Amino acid sequence: AIKQAERLAEDGGGYPLGQLIHNPLVTDELEKRGVKAAENPEDIPKGKKVIIRSHGVGQAVYGELERREIEYIDATCPFVANIHRIVREESEKGARVIIAGDPSHPEVKGIRGHCLTESRVVDSIRDIELLISDKLFVQDALILVAQTTYQLAKWIEYKKIIKKHCTNLQIFDT
């Protein structure tokens, strides 16, 4: 993503959708060179290119970029793109999606944006208890995925608990 942003700077600038990386020294330098973060496609001036950062974005964002005829470079991490593919394919089959992760994290928001059915995010035992108490939700076909940077200990614990209560569950170790 950084190399793409540097090339974009050489070509006259462009816009990452959201903060490209969590390093202010790098992002400040890129901004000085004409690569400034934008929060959504509406913030992109006509004729400028966009970089989709490694966290990825929801399917609607791709659609909006295409509708607005904004050229983009997709720098979504391959592991994140794999989660997008999994939730899209499984939700096309009717499975509801459970995501272990931080609900405010851009990666989780992007994952949810590829779900075609209802999705829930769990980031605590309390979240799991609320999920399990929703009998209508847990009786359906479910899949469980995790944010790529999610804490391994939490992921292992959550899988164990959810497996006990959801009999129609498919787990993807993402």
The question of whether 107 is a catalytic residue gets the answer: yes
- Give the rounded distance of the alpha carbon of 131 from its chain centre: 21
The Cα–Cα gap between 26 and 164 comes to 45
Q: Count CB atoms within 10 A of the CB of residue 42.
A: 8
Active-site residue (options: 42, 107, 118, 157): 107
How far apart CA 17 and CA 57 sit, in angstroms, is 9
Among candidates 91, 104, 90, which has minimal Cα distance to 147? 104
Q: Where are the alpha helices (DSSP H) in the chain?
A: 2-10, 24-32, 59-67, 78-92, 106-112, 125-133, 135-139, 152-165
Active site residues: 107
